[in-house]
Amino acid sequence: MISITMKRLCTLGAALFVCACFGSCGGGSGGAGAGAPAGATVQAWVTTADQSRLLARDTDQSFGSAALAASNIDVDAAVRYQSMVGFGAAITDSAAWVLQNDMNSAQRSALLAELFGASPGIGLSFTRLSIGASDFSLSQYTLDDVPAGQSDFALANFSIDPMRANVLPVLKSARLLNPQLQVMATPWSAPAWMKSNASLVKSANPSVAGTLLPGAYSAFAHYLVKFADAMQAEGVPLYALTPQNEPNYEPADYPGMLLGPAARVTLIGQHLAPLLAQRASPVKLLDWDHNWDDPTGALAGLNDALAQPAIAGVAWHCYAGDVGAQTTVHNAYPAKESYLTECSGGAWAPVWADNLLWDVQHLVIGATRGWAKGVLLWNLALDENAGPHTGGCGNCRGVVTVNSVTGAVTRNVEYYALAHASRFVRPGAQRIDSSTGVNGLESVAFRNADDGSLVLIVANGAGQARNFSVRQSAQSFSYSLPAGAVATFVWTPSA
């Protein structure tokens, strides 16, 4: 795990560029948009750095014609950007184990309803699965393991049985609570018999890299598609698929695989894309699934004439680099989608207040202003020992922590950072225009498609409380946000 570097957000693309790319802009400047919300009631929800208020309902505000504060955030609902899939976290093997084995039925049902259910639940609507084991599994395995020295190019031994005890029950329960829950999936490694080092982990011989054998490209593509088909048969269709987790990194103590740009281009363009095109149920193919620090890696597939048409978008991780990389790639290929697919908190960042601000500034605000349609944190749940896990990160933090003895739940800072968006921004919402970087106030805004309500999320990165106004059309309301605090505002403008 690479420590997260706290960097300021990059300036994002101009609205005129968006209009040219998507044809979805309207209105003018200075807070124009849907009808003036004179007198409209604004719900306010706040989390403070000292934890005295945790996603707490504050006094309602009202739009009026009072003078603007020195710091003002304009919201323009007529300027619209990407539609949202949602916010969530990965149902890893470990997360599912904790939920299924460390909680009784009543505890588990209550927590899943809180995580995936509608208000007062926080409405998580996006999740990620590993295809085979990750570091957050109880053992190292794939879905087609055979004895050493053997192979299975016909995939006769392929099975998703390792998911049946824990992952599938949790996933199906979550989808019952939120039928809009979208699922993406990622392999950490191909089966060992498909690899150059015949191992799921890095070889002890540094000269032997673990990558896909030239003769195994077709088999691996069929392996991934068989997984999509098996999930479809379970009533859990995949929304998206990536061909490899963190393809530039080969771990020594948990499954992983190097899959450089040329290998990914070959796998996607010549093998995986044709198979996916034959399926009746579409699955989005996302490339990269690695850090912000290497946009050239993310561009490799998009720059290839054969692979590019099959790639729906780019998946990003947060552990190195700056969120501005998302906009760099978007500007090069504005028709391609963007997703933040992994970011974990952990003991390396112990200060609750710092984590709240960083998570909201970079993941909720920065990633979505950087065109992300979905934002995923890493483990949905872990126990008090940051596990169970096999290798890899020994001090990661789940969105929630479940006590392995009592089943008691601790809601971690990541829970509140996610909830400030997921509870209010529903699937299908569009990001809309809002000013940001105003005297330390950063923001992002959305318009829910189902009822036209608007959601504004504001983080106060200044070292002191900020009094500010929010303006839509000619009307505004005022609010005072403590230093380091986060607020979500919700209102319905007039027609």
Q: Annotated active-site positions, please?
A: 246, 342
Q: Residue 397 forms beta bridges with which residues?
A: 345
Instruction: Confirm if 322 and 7 have CB atoms less than 8 A apart.
Output: yes
Alpha helices in 117-216 (DSSP H): 167-177
Sign of the C-alpha dihedral computed for residues 316, 454, 10 and 265 taken in this order: positive
Residues in the chain: 495
Which residues are CB-contacts of 98 (< 8 A; sequence separation ≥ 6)?
381, 382, 383, 388, 398, 402, 404
From residue 486, give the alpha-carbon distance in Å to each of 43, 47, 447, 469. Answer: 14, 5, 19, 15
Cα Rg of the chain (Å, integer): 22
* Residue 106: partners with Cβ closer than 8 Å, 6 or more residues away: none
247 vs 259: CA distance, rounded Å: 5
Which residue reads 């020594």 in tokens?
252
Report the alpha-carbon distance of residue 335 to residue 100 in Å, rounded: 40
| Beta carbons within 10 angstroms of residue 281's beta carbon | 11
Query: Are the beta carbons of 423 and 57 closer than 8 angstroms?
Result: no
Q: Say how many Å lie between the first and final Cα of the chain, rounded.
A: 48
Closest CA to 249 of 205, 212, 290, 294: 290
**Phi and psi dihedrals of 316, rounded to 5?**
-125, 150
* Residues facing 44 on adjacent strands: 489
Q: CA 12, 17, 22 angle in degrees (round to 5)?
A: 110
- What lies within 8 Å, CB to CB, of 125 at 6+ separation is 85, 86, 87, 88, 116, 178, 180, 181, 182, 422, 426, 427
Please give, one letter per residue, the 3-state secondary structure of 196-210.
Answer: CCCCCCCCCCCCCCC
Q: Which pair of structure tokens corresponds to residue 305?
A: 């004439």
Phi-psi region of 336 (alpha: psi -120 to 50; beta: other; left: phi over 0): beta
Count CA within 13 A, CB hemisphere, residue 305.
0
H helices within 234-347, ranges in order?
261-266, 273-278, 295-302, 324-332
3-state helix, strand, coil in the chain (%, to 5): 25, 25, 45
